[in-house]
Structure 1
Amino acid sequence: MLDMKFVRENPDAIDKAMADRQSSWDREKFFELDDERRSVIGEVEELQATRNAESKKIGALMKEGKKDEAEAAKEAVREVNEKIDGLAERRSKLEADLYDFMSHLPNIPCEATPVGVDETENIERRRWGTPRDFKAEGFEFKAHWDLGTDLDILDFERGNKLSGSRFTVLGGAGARLERALINFFIDTHTSRGFKEWWPPIVVKRQTMFGTGQLPKFEDDAYHVSGDNFLIPTAEVVLTNLHAGEVLEGDSLPRWYTAFTPCFREEAGSAGRDTRGIIRQHEFDKVEMVKFAKPEDSDNQLESMTAEAEYLLQQLGLPYRVISLCTGDLGFSARQTYDIEVWLPSYNAYKEISSCSNCGDFQARRANIKYRDPENFKGTRYLHTLNGSGLPAGRTMAAILENYQNADGSITVPEVLRPYMGCDKIERA
């Protein structure tokens, strides 16, 4: 959530930020609500001063024996209290409306985020690895959905039978590869400074609100009993671990990681990536979350992105890193790097990790602050960051396609062999 004071004092900056995001905001409505709220507060303060003055009169009048005047003063105080109570209700309604208004405003892109209309104007920063030339090797590559079916490790028909479209059953070496990837990701992160968590995947509405999934993206969320939701990413639970808390400055930065199943309705993705396991309603992912001081968060974004890159380098998968432009930036982010892995079936790079610096946007929604008495009095909002490290399904698809052999078998990347117990996946 944006700082209301900043919005009030810098409406032109909000105009530009929303325009850069290919979005808009109702400037007139904001000031209408804000001005009325401030007017009500001022009116209440005046009435309270009047009430205090009248209350003081009552005691003096009683001492002087002026009962009639004292009763008149009491009646005046009662009338003032009624007005204050009425204004309190009005203030509560205005503040609720203003809070709802602010909750729909996306984050302001930082200066490092390139200005652009949509994904076609994202900027490539670097590449790693070289895609295989299958023709030079003398065979035609297959897509992962065909490879997985031929090897009997991906079962799309039974996934559809059990749960519907965009659900997949993994069998044999496919199930083992999924587990191997999750363990490899977690073991790597924890060996490099991340603290592992095992959080619940059913969360309250406020928890989803804290990271910006609600209210804007409710149609993409899975509802469960009551007013609860299945998480779309472990970012939701890891970030909200410290909701309503004040952390010590010398404990920052904090690096967290967790494996969870993730659930997404994909309401706005009809017709996109319908084949294979690139876009599923349920998928497994290892997530990274960081809590940092504001002056350090840009450095933490670079190191988080490098962490996701390191995993792909260890797996030997070609990828590229791009900076998302303002028109393609996520709701809560001020800056984002997407890492895209090479997929022969698409003849293109496809997103496998998104690493974002959210500034204090999520911290305001979840009320997460820190204290640093050597540098300032009181408390301030910290910065939160999140990144995929990595999704098991998309990584599996990339491994199947990039490590396939002419006979339809899959060479297991060297770093996964201790987890898999084999160096090749073949049809059983």
Structure 2
Amino acid sequence: MHDIRFIRENPAAFDAGLARRGLAPLSAEILALDKSHRELIVEIEHLQAERKRLSAFVGQLRGLGQHEEAMSFQQDAIEVSKKLKDLEPELDKSKGALTAMLAAIPNLPVDDVPQGADEADNVEVSRWGSPRDFDFAPQDHADFGPALGLDFEGGAKLSGARFTALRGQMARLHRALAQYMLDTQTGANGYEEVNPPLLVRDEALFGTGQLPKFAEDLFRTTDGRWLIPTAEVSLTNLVADQILALDSLPIRMTALTPCFRSEAGSAGRDTRGFIRQHQFEKVELVAIAKPEESEAEHERMCAAAEGILQALGLPYRKMLLCTGDMGFGARKTWDLEVWLPSQATYREISSVSNCGDFQARRMNARYKPEGEKQTRFLHTLNGSGLAVGRTLVAVLENYQQADGSVTVPDVLAPYMGGITKLAPR
């Protein structure tokens, strides 16, 4: 959500930020709605004061025994009350229109985010590791994975396209990856583990920006709740409608959860294999920080995600997303892209975003700076540390052998119960 006071005071800067997002100017339309809304508030406040004055006058006249005069002023008070009753729905309507407009506008990018239209304009920041030099033609995980326990047919039989069952040693490797990630983020990186609800109300998804704009990308239950598309929704909303103590910041949370996405806007993309699923698991990272600390927290969170890739020995690159490729709620995003030998390219495995106070305004999440009377909105950050399924794909492809087996990365040994290699069944 955007700060209406900022738009009032900086309409040109606001429109310039929208232009960087590829959007037309909106400040004039927003300010017209805001002006109308504020005029209604002033009118209502005036009528409320008038009603209070008349009611007090009626009481005084009755106390003096002047009942006829009191009746006249009481009638005036009744007329004022009628006007108020007529105006209150208008006030609700104007407030709703202003809120709806502000809620549909994406966050503004910070200055160092590169200008661009789509992923082709993203900027590579760094690379880690070198792609393996295979002495055979590396295969796509979708081709050799079924012999190791990737049951695409079984998943599709149960639930349809983009659902997969993991069996035997493949399920064990998937679990090992998830547990290693969670243990690392809670241990070495100091994130608090949370086991959050997977079903949330409308307010939670509004708070993190998925609603109202992206409802078609979500799954909804018959009782009106929503399946979370990411644990970011549950974790971030744990601070909604709160004023946090200064000494509690920053708050760092992590969760391993299933995630559910309808992928409404991805028809035809990654239809083979385990890369784009309707149900997948992810270790999510969320931080709640003071504004002056959020940039450093962004760096820290990205390093926490990178550390998993480095420990697994998976080559990757770090990308700074351009204005046209950033998510709705982000002001700045880094993507980590892991090397997939079968595609001879890097594919996204984590997005790490600083949302500034955009989500906090929607959630009314605040803190009180030391020595100040007024509260301020917090900054929120989120990232994947990592997406478990895509990491599984990266391990399978980068550690595949000519005989169809897959070597287990050394760092996962404590989680694999003595299994050092996945062999075709």
Map Cα deviations across residues 90-112 of structure 1 (whole Å, 9 max, x no partner): 11121122111111111111122
Deviation at 1:354, TM superposition (A): 0.3
Q: Kindly indicate whether residue 143 of structure 2 is the aligned counterpart of residue 146 of structure 1.
A: yes
Backbone CA RMSD of aligned residues: 1.5
Which residue of 318, 321, 329 corresponds with 1:321?
A: 318
Q: Is the 8 A contact 1:20 1:117 kept in 2?
A: no
Deviation at 1:61, TM superposition (A): 3.9
Question: Normalising by structure 1, what TM-score?
Answer: 0.95
**Which residue of the partner structure matches residue 245 of structure 2?**
248
Q: Kindly indicate whether residue 5 of structure 2 is the aligned counterpart of residue 5 of structure 1.
A: yes
Partner SS for 2:99:
helix
Q: Is the 8 A contact 1:25 1:105 kept in 2?
A: no
Which residue of 176, 186, 189 corresponds with 1:190?
A: 186
User: Tell me, which stretches of 5 or more residues in structure 2 are unaligned?
Assistant: none
Map Cα deviations across residues 300-354 of structure 1 (whole Å, 9 max, x no partner): 0000000000000000000000111111110011110000000112211000000
Which residue of 376, 379, 390 corresponds with 2:372?
A: 376
Deviation at 1:81, TM superposition (A): 1.3
**Which residue of the partner structure matches residue 115 of structure 2?**
115
Q: Is the 8 A contact 1:318 1:341 kept in 2?
A: yes
**Which residue of the partner structure matches residue 82 of structure 1?**
82
Say how many residue pairs are matched: 423
Report the AA paired with residue 258 of structure 1.
Answer: A
Deviation at 1:65, TM superposition (A): 5.0
**Which residue of the partner structure matches residue 97 of structure 1?**
97
Report the AA paired with residue 400 of structure 2.
Answer: Q
**Which residue of the partner structure matches residue 418 of structure 1?**
414
**Which residue of the partner structure matches residue 356 of structure 2?**
359
Query: Residues 410 and 106 of structure 1: is their aligned pair in 2 closer, same or farther, counting only changes over 3 Å?
Result: same
Q: Is the 8 A contact 1:196 1:256 kept in 2?
A: yes
When structure 1 is superposed on structure 2, of 166-175 and 46-55 the one drifting more is 46-55
Q: Is the 8 A contact 2:19 2:25 kept in 1?
A: no
Report the AA paired with residue 68 of structure 2.
Answer: D
Matches within 5 A, 1:24-423: 24=24, 26-62=26-62, 66-134=66-134, 137=135, 139-149=136-146, 151-192=147-188, 193-372=190-369, 374-420=370-416, 421-423=418-420
Distance 2:212 2:360 in 1: 16
Q: Is the 8 A contact 1:158 1:168 kept in 2?
A: yes
Partner SS for 2:301:
helix
Deviation at 1:64, TM superposition (A): 5.5
Q: Is the 8 A contact 2:218 2:229 kept in 1?
A: yes
Q: Is the 8 A contact 1:147 1:400 kept in 2?
A: no
Deviation at 1:203, TM superposition (A): 0.9
Report the AA paired with residue 286 of structure 1.
Answer: V
Map Cα deviations across residues 15-74 of structure 1 (whole Å, 9 max, x no partner): 112211123464444233212111111111222333343334334544555443322111
Report the AA paired with residue 383 of structure 1.
Answer: H
Query: Residues 302 and 375 of structure 1: is their aligned pair in 2 closer, same or farther, counting only changes over 3 Å?
Result: farther
Question: Normalising by structure 2, what TM-score?
Answer: 0.96
Distance 1:221 1:60 in 2: 60
Q: Is the 8 A contact 2:216 2:264 kept in 1?
A: yes
User: Tell me, which stretches of 5 or more residues in structure 1 are unaligned?
Assistant: none
Query: Residues 133 and 5 of structure 1: is their aligned pair in 2 closer, same or farther, counting only changes over 3 Å?
Result: same
Q: Is the 8 A contact 1:235 1:289 kept in 2?
A: yes
